[in-house]
Amino acid sequence: MILVFGKTGQVATELQSHKDVIAIGRDEADLSVPATCTEAIRQYKPRAVINAAAYTAVDKAESEENLATMINGEAPGAMASACADLDIPLVHISTDYVFDGTGTKPWSVTDIPNPKNAYGRSKLKGEQAIKASGCVHAILRTSWVISAHGHNFVKTMRRLSETKDRITVVDDQIGGPTCARDIAQTCLSIAEQLIQDPNKSGIYHYSGQPNVSWCQFANAIFEQMDCKTIASPIPTTEYPTPVLRPLNSRLDCEAVEDTYGIARPFWRDGLEEILRDLEGEDDKA
The dihedral over CA atoms of 235, 238, 243, 245, expressed in degrees to the nearest 10, equals -10
Helix segments in the chain, DSSP class H: 10-15, 35-44, 65-69, 75-86, 118-133, 153-161, 180-196, 214-225, 254-260, 267-284
Residues 6+ apart with CB under 8 A from 261: none
Q: Output the CA–CA distances (angstroms, integers) from residue 119 to 125, 146, 161, 212, in the order listed.
A: 10, 19, 30, 23
Catalytic positions: 119
Residues 6+ apart with CB under 8 A from 44: 1, 3, 22
Among candidate residues 271, 268, 105, the one with its CA nearest the CA of residue 174: 105
- Three-state DSSP at 35 gives helix
- Sign of the CA dihedral with 131 first, then 135, 138, and 139 last: negative
What are the helix and strand counts (H, E) for the chain?
10, 13
Residue 266's φ and ψ, nearest 5 degrees, are: -90, 115
